[in-house]
Amino acid sequence: MPIFAVIFAVMIYVGRVTETIKSSIISGVIFGVVFAAINAYQGQAMHRGLVDAVAGLDKTLRSEAIAAVTDGVVPADPVVQRSAARIGLACLRGKTIDELKRAERRSWITAAIVVALFIVAAATQNTAHDVVYYLALGLIVAIALPVSILRTRRFHRNCALLAETLPSP
* DSSP, res 76: S
Residues of the chain with pLDDT under 70: 1-25, 27, 166-169
d(CA 54, CA 40): 21
Does the model's pTM come out above 0.85? Answer: no
